[in-house]
């Protein structure tokens, strides 16, 4: 059995202890032209390829800005670009 699982874009996971064994990476979701958030209520994220995520978003909350409505209650495919 594998001890660690690693993917080019994902942190390595120790399968015995369920701990992250490296620094991983931080990615930011795209913003609009005014640098406002578009993806306000992300509920689920999963890798579908080494450079793509599937993301689901919840409804805009009443106290959130109007731009949050653009991506609410949807399934999104997000590509990760190499730095």
Over residues 45-78, the pLDDT tens digits come to 998 987 888 999 999 999 999 989 989 999 999 8
Burial profile 41-63: b = 16 or more Cβ within 10 angstroms, e = fewer: beeeeeeeeeeebebebeebeee
Percent of the chain with pLDDT over 70: 84
pTM above 0.85, yes or no: no
Q: What is the CA radius of gyration of the chain?
A: 16
- Strand ordering across the sheet containing 52-57: 42-49, 52-57, 75-79
How far apart are the C-alpha atoms of 19 and 70, rounded to whole Å?
35
Domain definitions of the chain by residue range = 4-79
Token pair recorded at residue 74: 């949807």
């Amino acid at each position: 059995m594998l001890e660690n699982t690693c993917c080019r874009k994902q942190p390595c996971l120790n399968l015995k202890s369920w701990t992250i064994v490296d620094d991983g990476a931080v990615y930011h979701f795209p913003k609009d032209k005014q640098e406002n958030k578009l993806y306000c209520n992300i509920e689920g994220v999963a890798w579908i390829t080494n450079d793509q995520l599937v993301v689901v978003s919840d409804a805009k909350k009443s106290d959130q800005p109007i731009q949050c409505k653009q991506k609410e209650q949807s399934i999104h495919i997000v590509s990760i670009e190499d730095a």
